[in-house]
Amino acid sequence: MIAFKGLEEGSSFRIIQLAIILSALLTALISSFVATEQPIVAVLGIAALAVSIASLRWPDVTTLTFFFILLTNTATIAVKFHNVPFAIGAAFPLLLFVPVVNHVVLRRQKLVLTPYFLLLVCLLLVQLIGTLFARNLNDAFDNLIVFAVEAVMIYFLVINAIRTPQTLRRVVNVFLLSAILLGAVPIYQQITGTYVNDYWGYGQVPGKAFTVGQSLVGGDTQARLAGAIGEKNRFAQFMMMFGMIAITQVWGARTKSERIIAIIATVTSFTAAVLPFSRGAAIGFVLTLLVAVPLSFISVKQFVAIVLAGAVALAAFPQYSARLISIPDLLEYAAGSDAQEVDGSTKGRITEMLAALTVYAEHPIVGVGPKQYRFYSKEVGNDLGIKRLDEDRQAHNLYLDTAANTGTLGLVLTLWIIFMTLWQLFKVKKRWQEKRPNIASLATGFSLAIIVYLTTGIFLHDAYLRYIWTFMAVAGTIILVANKLEESDFEASNKMIDAA
C-alpha cells in the first residue's frame, strides 16, 4: 500500500486482513466437505485460500488470477468437463472485487466511471426495454443477466482494478501466457493426431472433419480444432485477436525476456488461429490488415511482418486451401450469381442474415430482445426460399444480430462504444509512440484485436460477451493509464516552471 499508512498499521486494516483470510479459509473448508464426491472443488477451495492470502502481500494476484481464468476459459471448462458446480464457475469475476475494494476503501481512491461504461449501462437499459416485449420473456431475462454480468460488471471491475502501468503490464503478460497455453494444446493435437483426447477440455474437437484432396498434406480428412473455446470459428477469432496483441508486444517489449515471451505467443496464436480452418477468420484477417494500414494503426513494415506471420502459419497447413477455395463461390453467390458450388452451410448463413435484416426492419427501435432473434429465424428465413431452416438459428453476423436483437438504439450504442475506444487508442498511439513505445504498442495491439473482432464479426453473431468486453475494458484502461501519464508529465513540467 502506498497511501493511508496509519490505516494499514491500525486495527481496522488488520481486521480487514483477518476477514479476508477467514473468508478464504471458510471457502476451503466448505469445498473440502463437498469434496467427498467432487475432489476438484476442494482443490479450488484451497486455491482460493492461497490466492486470498497472497493478495494481502501482492494485491495484483487476484487481478491476474481473474484474467487467467477468463482468458483460458478455465471456469467454463471446470463446469463442463470436471463437474464443478455452476455457481462456483460463475463466481470467479468476484475476484476483481479484492483490488477494487483495495483501491476504493483502503486507498480512498475514486471509482472510475468512464463515458464508455455509462454508454454500456445505457445499452443494458435498451436490452431491458427489449426484454419487456420479448417473445420468450424468461430466455430474454436470462440473457439480460448474462449481459449485465459478462459485459457491464466485468467492464466496471476491470477499469477499476487496473490503475497503474505496472498492473497493466502484468495483465498483458497474462494475455500472452494465456495465448501460449490456448495455442499449444491444439498445435500438439495437430502434430500428434490425438484428436480424440480433449486434454482436460483445453483441446476440444467438435463436429466432423472436412475432406481435403489426396495431394495435400494431412490425408483425406482434417479435423477442425476448437481448443479451450469449444467452437471452431470463435477459437479462430480469439486466437487471431491474441496474435495481434502478441506481435505488437514484440515491437514494444522493454526487455529481452518480454520479447521472447511475445514471440512465442505470436507463433502459437497465429498457428492455432489456422487450426479451426475458418474461412471467416481468413477473410477477417485480410480485412483487418486492409483497414489497419490506411488508418495508420500499423506501418508498412509492420504490415509486412504480420502478413509474413500469417503466411508462415498458412503454409504450415496447406489443408486450409481446401476450405478457402470455396470463398470465390461465396462471393459470386453474394453478388447475385447462381453459383452451384456454394455449400449448404453458406446458403444457410445467408438465409439467417437476410432473416435478421427482415426482423430488424420490423422491430427497428429496440429490437426483439436479448438473443431473441433465433426464435424468429426459422419462421422468417423459410419464407425467403434460399434454404430451409429446421431449427432456431443465430444470425451469424455481428451487425445484423445486434440490430435484430437490440434495434437501432442498441446497434448505435454498441458501435459508438467500440469506435470511440478505437479513436482514443489511436490518439494514445500517436501521443506516446516516441516517448513510451510500450504504451503505444499496447494501444496498437488492442486496436488490432478489436478490429479483428469487427471484421470476423461479418460472419459471427454477438456471443462470448465476457471475451470481447474484457478486451474492451483493458483497452479502456490503456486509455486511462495513458491519460494519467500525460497528467503527471504536465504536473512535472509545471513544477519545473515554478521552480525556475
Of 57-66, 129-138, 197-206, the least confident:
57-66
Angle CA 480–486–488, to nearest 5? 105
pLDDT in tens, 144-177: 999 999 999 999 999 999 999 999 999 999 999 9
Q: What is the mean pLDDT of residues 374-398?
A: 86
Q: What is the mean pLDDT of residues 471-478?
A: 98
Q: Which of the two residues, 57 and 424, has the higher pLDDT score? A: 424
Supply the pLDDT for residue 333. Answer: 45
Which helix (H) or strand (E) covers residue 417, if one does? helix 398-432
Cα–Cα distance, 212 to 320 (Å, whole number): 9
Q: What is the mean pLDDT of residues 448-460?
A: 94
pLDDT band (50, 70, 90) for residue 9: very low
Of 169-183, 196-210, 354-368, 375-389, the least confident:
375-389
SS3 string, 193-209, reads: CCCCCCHHHCCECCCCC
- Sign of torsion over alpha carbons 310, 316, 320, 324: positive
Q: Which of the two residues, 132 and 26, has the higher pLDDT score? A: 132
- Cα separations (Å) of 275 from 68, 105, 177, 243, 292? 22, 46, 19, 14, 24
Tell me the three cell numbers of residue 450: 478489436
Identify the CA nearest to 438 among candidates 154, 162, 169, 174: 169
> 65 CB contacts (<8 Å, ≥6 apart)?
51, 95
Q: Which of the two residues, 27 and 286, has the higher pLDDT score? A: 286
Query: Mean pLDDT highest for which of 127-131, 210-214, 318-322, 393-397?
Result: 127-131
pTM for this predicted structure: 0.88
Q: What is the mean pLDDT of residues 180-209?
A: 93
pLDDT in tens, 419-436: 999 999 999 999 998 888
pLDDT in tens, 297-315: 888 888 888 888 878 877 7
pLDDT in tens, 61-75: 889 999 999 999 999
Query: Mean pLDDT highest for which of 29-38, 204-213, 278-287?
Result: 278-287
- Sign of torsion over alpha carbons 164, 249, 290, 470: negative
49 phi/psi in degrees, rounded to 5: -60, -45
What letters, b where the CB count within 10 A reaches 16 and e where it falls short, cover 122-159? ebbebbbbbbeebebeebbbebbeebbebbbbbbbbbb
pLDDT in tens, 172-194: 999 999 999 999 999 999 999 99
Q: Which of the two residues, 252 and 238, has the higher pLDDT score? A: 238
Supply the pLDDT for residue 356. Answer: 94
pLDDT band (50, 70, 90) for residue 327: low
Of 112-116, 243-247, 331-335, the least confident:
331-335
pLDDT in tens, 135-145: 999 999 999 99
464 phi/psi in degrees, rounded to 5: 50, 55
pLDDT band (50, 70, 90) for residue 38: low
pLDDT band (50, 70, 90) for residue 382: confident
Percentage with pLDDT > 70 across the chain: 80
Of 158-172, 203-217, 386-400, the least confident:
203-217
Supply the pLDDT for residue 323. Answer: 73
Residue listed under C-alpha cell 513510451: 436
Helix (H, G, I), strand (E, B) or coil at 294: coil
Cα torsion 421, 426, 427, 433 to 10°: value is: 140
pLDDT in tens, 81-93: 988 878 778 888 8
N-terminal to C-terminal alpha carbon distance within the chain: 33
Supply the pLDDT for residue 217. Answer: 45
Supply the pLDDT for residue 500. Answer: 41
Of 26-30, 63-67, 273-277, the least confident:
26-30
pLDDT for 77 beyond 80:
yes
Which helix (H) or strand (E) covers residue 222, if one does? strand 221-222
pLDDT for 43 beyond 70:
no
Q: What is the mean pLDDT of residues 471-481?
A: 97
- Note whether 63 and 171 are within 8 A (CB): yes
For residue 222, list its beta bridge partners: 210
Q: What is the mean pLDDT of residues 324-353?
A: 62
Percentage with pLDDT > 90 across the chain: 54
